[in-house]
Structure 1
Amino acid sequence: MKIDILGVQAFIAIADQGSFQGAADALHVTQTAVTLRLRKLEDFLGVTLMERTTRSIALTEIGQDFLPQARRLLTELAGALVEIRESGIARRGDVSIACVPTVGVQYLPRIMQAYSARYPHNRIKILDHASSAVAEAVLRREAEFGINVAREHHPELVSLPLTEDRYVLICHKDHALARRRRIAWTQLQSHPLIFAGEVSGNRALLDPALEAHGIALRSFYEVQRSSTAVGLVAQGVGVAVVPQLAIQEGAYPHVRMVKLVDPVVSRHLVLITRKTAHLSPAAQALYDMIREQEGGR
């Protein structure tokens, strides 16, 4: 069914202005155009909406009943068009992204704050997963894009470098190592060590890097998430090796951070998307903002 929007507009304008000329002026068209639009609408509906003489215009009973419906029709249509337009320029929309958990500690919050200030109506869903699950979420379209640890990705994914995240030692402020500014990896062997578990993405990076320098560490505790390691350290359970991004400044006043050297080991974070992906305007705006924030560092 074809909806005669121009005819409905003309009908409402005539009713509001009380004349064909007034309606023509309001719609910025000729009086002839307004007359033709109304006649076309009446022919389509098979009813008379207005009784007109050379001196007056009056709504028929059917016209009176139709007028509030016509107003509602145009109001709803205008609202729908505005919503679509705002979505098209990223002012409104939902975004789903995936990321490794440490990214959500201090890296993402500052970007989320800036994004929300610019696009206050957009909702963001953050899927904080292990590294392998981040890639899977993007591949399965559960997330439009992801922030992951650089690694060999699925051939359907493409990555863009973001930032370097150094591994550091954290300990309780009362620990013997708390006053050190840096420490070599080999000096950790005499301390109860909290280390990444076998299935952790961090472990897959740390083991080969340390083995290349002939360093073999024995962990006393194994955890899968850096946030768990931070919590244990805060209670004085032991010392832990975590990515620097896992430590939110001021969140744990009793935890101290010490640089690890000989060697310096880092991981690299990347933006990942599907090669054939077309990001929604809202997601593209967030993606671009992350790139801009990184470029401004």
Structure 2
Amino acid sequence: MKRIDLEIGDLHALMAVAEKLSFRAAAEEMFISQPALSRRIEKLEGAAGVRLLDRTSRRVALTDAGRVFLSHARAIAEELEAALHGASDSAQQRAGLVTIACVPSVAHHVLPNLLKSFSEQYPKVRVKVIDESGESVLKSVVSAVADFGVNFTGAQEADIDFRAAHTERYVLAARRDHRLAKQKSVTWKELVDERFISVSARSSNRLLLDNALAKLSKRPLISYEVDHVTGALGMVAAGLGVAVVPALALSAEHYPSLVSIPLSQPVVSRTLGFITRKGSVLSPPAQALLDMLQREAKQGFA
């Protein structure tokens, strides 16, 4: 039998490229040069005897063989990590990992209680949550880094199955002592003179809002800009201004000093859905977690 001379770093190289979909970003994450990263990938492809990545000047994507190889690479890396941490229960080492990618509002306000029930059914299964922007969630599922995702983008992707689950409005987040706090609804026109806190242009939420408001003659000027909705809500709570956020992100439990006010003219909403790779078959634990989330969605993620 031919000896296969691979290193764990070679597997990590493939996992990094699959997650970032960029040789430059993957090389930076691994603190190596791009040529060194390319050599690691070429080494893997030579050992496997097939191309694992399709590479152009603009795009990097896993081949079908690459997706299969990645799943084995992740399993090997996980087993080695468990061994290095002194895990003695071999059954637990084989129990596996479920990786879910989801937008932060779901990660913060839906998953914690749900995972309590999941862990009772699958006490030996570890769960990794990738709580990032809509674009990052989509990339994680497309590249097979995540088993499935909860996102509001992906319906137009050829390689993705998108199953709509929950539609929510964008609402105004304001302190309870704000002049608009007692109104039953607020129009966008009323926000023109407010100190407005926004997520950055890199955010999928910002892109959705910008597209929806493109025809407005006047829009609120941005006074503060942050990367994540949680940062925006923290600034609102500090009295720095108001923000527009998905309704799910603004829970009374986490932000008791803030109120949620429906917005109109126009009403802007987003539809959260479950995304999986076309043709993929989830492991029993991953399918169980997806089923639990689907039941929760039918109740409005309450």
Asked if these proteins are the same fold (TM beyond 0.5), I'd say yes
What displacement does 1:111 show?
2.3
Question: Is 1:270 aligned with 2:261?
Answer: no
State the shift of 1:202 in Å.
0.7
Which has the larger displacement, 219-228 or 172-181?
Answer: 172-181
Q: Which amino acid aligns with 2:163?
A: L
2:199, 2:226 within 8 Å by CA — same for their partners in 1? yes
Q: Which of 107, 111, 131 lines up with 2:110 in the alignment? A: 107
1:149 to 148, 152, 159: 152
Highest Rg: 1 or 2? 1
Q: 1:15-39 CA distances to partner (integer Å, 9 max, x unpaired)?
A: xxxxxxxxxxxxxxxxxxxxxxxxx
CA contact (8 A) 1:105 1:247 kept: no
Question: For residue 132 of structure 1, what is the aligned residue in structure 2?
Answer: 135
- Name the counterpart of 2:72: none
Q: Residue in 2 aligned with 1:95?
A: 98
Q: Deviations over 1:148-193 (max 9, x none)?
A: 1134543211111111121011112222122222111110001101
Q: Partner of 2:172 in structure 1?
A: 169
Question: What is the distance in 1 between the residues matched to 2:128 and 2:225?
Answer: 29
Give 1:251 shift. 1.7
Q: Is the 2:197–2:242 contact (alpha carbons within 8 Å) kept by the matching residues of 1?
A: yes
Unaligned runs of 5+ in 2: 1-88
| 2:230 partner SS | helix
Residues of 1 paired with 2:224 and 2:259: CA distance?
A: 19
Q: In structure 1, what residue type is equivalent to 2:266?
A: P
In structure 1, C-alpha distance between the alignment counterparts of 2:217 and 2:192, rounded to whole Å: 13
Contact 2:193 2:220 in 1 (8 A): no
Distance 1:161 1:100 in 2: 15
The amino acid across from 1:276 in the alignment is G
Q: Is the 8 A contact 2:160 2:277 kept in 1?
A: yes
Quick one: which amino acid aligns to residue 231 of structure 1?
A: G
Q: Which deviations, in whole Å up to 9, do the C-alpha atoms of 1:107-158 show, x marking residues without a partner?
A: 2233223322333332211011111111111122211011111345432111
Residue type at the aligned position of 2:298: G
Contact 2:154 2:275 in 1 (8 A): no
Structure-2 residue corresponding to 1:279:
282
In 2, the alpha carbon distance for the partners of 1:270 and 1:133 equals 15
Q: Does 2:258 match 1:255? A: yes
Moved more, 103-112 or 236-245: 103-112
Worse overlay, 99-108 or 212-221:
212-221
Q: Is the 8 A contact 2:99 2:130 kept in 1?
A: yes
Which secondary structure does the structure 2 equivalent of 1:273 belong to? Answer: strand
- Matched ranges for 1:11-160 at <5 A: 83=91, 92-160=95-163
Could you say if the C-alpha distance between residues 215 and 207 of structure 1 is closer, same or farther in structure 2, counting changes exceeding 3 Å? farther
Q: Deviations over 1:81-119 (max 9, x none)?
A: xx59xx8xxxx5421111111211212233223322333
2 CA distance for matches of 1:191 and 1:169? 12
Change (3 A) 1:276 1:215: farther
Task: Give yes or no for the alignment of 1:240 onto 2:243.
Answer: yes
- Residue 211 of structure 2 corresponds to 208
Whether the 8 Å contact between 2:155 and 2:161 is mirrored in structure 1 is no
Structure 1, gaps ≥5 residues long: 1-78
Distance 1:285 1:129 in 2: 22
Name the counterpart of 2:297: 294
Cα distance in structure 1, aligned partners of 2:263 and 2:115? 30
Tell me which of 189, 194, 205 is aligned to 1:191.
194
- Which SS does the other structure have where 1:276 is aligned? coil
SS at structure 2 position matched to 1:126: strand
Deviation at 1:284, TM superposition (A): 0.8
